[in-house]
Chain A
């Protein structure tokens, strides 16, 4: 089982100070598909996601127990370099957060940081393909020097996706990537996620059940820090095993 999983989370416990945010969560994330994390607000979805690229490290009060294996290696081992980890596991945030620099600079930043391009031409190439893959190239190719913040919210979010894929990570984590976007921009991002699935393993947090149903192959339902139920998306939405899952997806709470 663990040999096929891209990420195996085993008995993950997360505490903020004395408050436990995740209780004994174990989950297998399969390669080249979209895993959706759903559940009511405050149930620990974002916390779980941040554990996967160790973004919780910067939260002082946060303590983590358990194992998270990426390609069979525990990312919390002391010999793991977070910088390399985050180069392999990219992240897209809830609110689009491009750097206050040009569109080009936004995408070029990470490849430069990791020394992926030695020549200007190589860097240009990476920026172009990343924007292309993020479905943004047509809209911005004449204005790469413009500030990223002059783009619309939806374009900014796709730019953030381009920025994340520019260093060719294995996994992309997305924390409610569409919650700040209008329906048309949302549709575009969802379409993009579907295309990216071919090359990347994607974990997406969403509060929209329809979105989970549309983009994901596997769904995990969280409730009060526990992983209640997980399975193929179709099964979760058509025949949930747990009362709480059923309650949530039918809109009785959440």
Chain B
């Protein structure tokens, strides 16, 4: 017989090695994941902020000869304000450089601010106008390659006067897509995703649940029902782009529904989510013990009453969990939406189910194609927003599952 002590040592070291290998297999993906999330945060962070220039304005500015109340020229007014605040009189060359300090929509912001004022201001009034992408980038990263000498000088002057500062960028959350990086926002695609998800939910939850109820509670167990069951399971594995193809042919082609609309997008994603919900709903219906059905039947409940009073309420948390997970998948989907034109440059924020719109992952995809630093930042910011939504949905699913613990 071999030395038992030696034997034990060998076995223990073998177990240690095994444990180490399994730990390593966990450590590697976690390292990558941490790096990925950290990278996204780091890249996305600047997108949530912007630099603004504070300009002083008073009644005299609005009554100057060049500013007419009847037909106000806010572009001109913006430039004049810059000149006044910088205490310069711009040469024709400088007149071109000056407005490029500010975002193209700065004069619109000014107009909106002034129109909100009840009457022309008696005391000096401060308006904060967004800087242009090049200035914002210079302020954030110190990259001055895109600035003219004059602009650098002006910025320095504004900085010493503390008239340029960094603030939370609300327009990123409020606007739709744009060719101008400082104007492009995420609200359009969030609304698009939201409207699309509503359609997906309204279609897939009731139909999925009803289908599952039929299969579990009413269908006879025969060849046909087994065939349907197998096909539903297969449907859940069908590549999502195929559903997009179906969307083109049926929803756009035959039904003539509007292209790029949340209505069609939601219908396509509902097709994709339906089998997931049916499978989840069937599983949770089947998990309800037969003894509960029997108890209800035995006190004289009809089949429908057994379902509505007992089986369905008990299965509902499971159905909802499956639905949320299916919806989370649909929220991150781009491929099928490409086919029906939801990956498109759309400026207007959709306000209805038939308005042309895009969705969050599609917005990410489109921004990721653009070279400007501001768009790179926005790409990451949008990714972050999408991830946050997905995490919230998953958390909700976990909460539902935990809240309703198995009671039998």
Contact = CB atoms under 8 A, between A and B. Distances in A.
Which secondary structure dominates where chain B touches chain A? helix
Interface string B281-309: 00000000101111111111110010001
A221 B208 CA distance: 49
B310 A90 contact: no
Interface stretch (A52-60, A70-78, A131-139, A196-204): A52-60
A97 B292 contact: yes
A135 B295 CA distance: 20
A113 B295 contact: no
Contact of B220 (A60, A87, A90, A93): A60
Contacts of B299: 86-87, 90, 109-110, 113, 163-164, 167
Contacts of A97: 289, 291-292, 294-295
A93 B295 contact: yes
A149 B408 contact: yes
Nearest to B407: A100
Given A113-B305, A149-B407, A99 B300 contact: no
Interface in A8-58: 53, 55, 58
Contacts of A160: 295
Given A87-B300, A90-B298, A164-B299, A95 B310 contact: no
A123 to B, nearest CB: 15
B222 to A, nearest CB: 10
A99 B296 contact: yes
Interface in B152-172: none
Contacts of B221: 60
B314 A100 contact: yes
A113 B305 CA distance: 9
A83 interface: yes
B300 A86 contact: yes
Given A99-B310, A100-B407, A167 B300 contact: yes
A109 B300 CA distance: 10
A177 interface: no
A99 B298 contact: no
Given A99-B292, A100-B314, A86 B408 contact: no
Interface string A106-132: 000110011000000000000000000
Interface residues of B, number: 21
Contacts of A231: none
Interface in B366-395: none
A151 to B, nearest CB: 13
Nearest to A164: B299
A135 to B, nearest CB: 19
A249 B314 CA distance: 44
Nearest to B220: A60
A225 interface: no
Interface string A58-74: 10100000000000000
B216 to A, nearest CB: 13
Contact of A86 (B220, B289, B291, B297): B297
A114 B309 CA distance: 14
Interface in B3-47: none
A3 interface: no
Nearest to A109: B299
A91 interface: yes
Contacts of A90: 298-299
Interface in B295-330: 295-302, 305, 309-310, 314
A59 B295 CA distance: 15
A15 to B, nearest CB: 18
A200 to B, nearest CB: 15
A85 B301 CA distance: 11
Interface string A197-222: 00000000000000000000000000
Q: Which of B291, B292, B297 has the most CB of A within 10 A?
A: B297
Nearest to A97: B291
A84 B220 CA distance: 26
Contacts of A60: 220-221
B295 A98 contact: yes
A53 B407 contact: no
B167 to A, nearest CB: 53
A147 interface: yes
Nearest to A160: B295
Nearest to B303: A58
Nearest to A147: B407
Q: Which of B289, B295, B301 has the most CB of A within 10 A?
A: B295
A114 to B, nearest CB: 6
A109 B8 CA distance: 63
B297 A58 contact: yes
Contacts of B292: 97, 99-100
Interface of A: 53, 55, 58, 60, 82-87, 90-91, 93, 95, 97-100, 109-110, 113-114, 147, 149, 160, 163-164, 167
10 contacts: A55-B294, A90-B298, A90-B299, A93-B291, A97-B289, A97-B291, A110-B300, A113-B300, A160-B295, A164-B298
Listed from nearest, the 10 A-B pairs whose CB atoms lie closest are A97-B291, A110-B299, A100-B407, A91-B298, A86-B300, A87-B300, A97-B295, A83-B300, A83-B302, A149-B407
Interface of B: 220-221, 289, 291-302, 305, 309-310, 314, 407-408
Given A55-B297, A55-B298, A93-B298, 13 more contacts: A84-B300, A86-B297, A87-B299, A87-B300, A90-B298, A93-B291, A93-B294, A93-B295, A97-B295, A98-B295, A100-B407, A109-B299, A113-B305
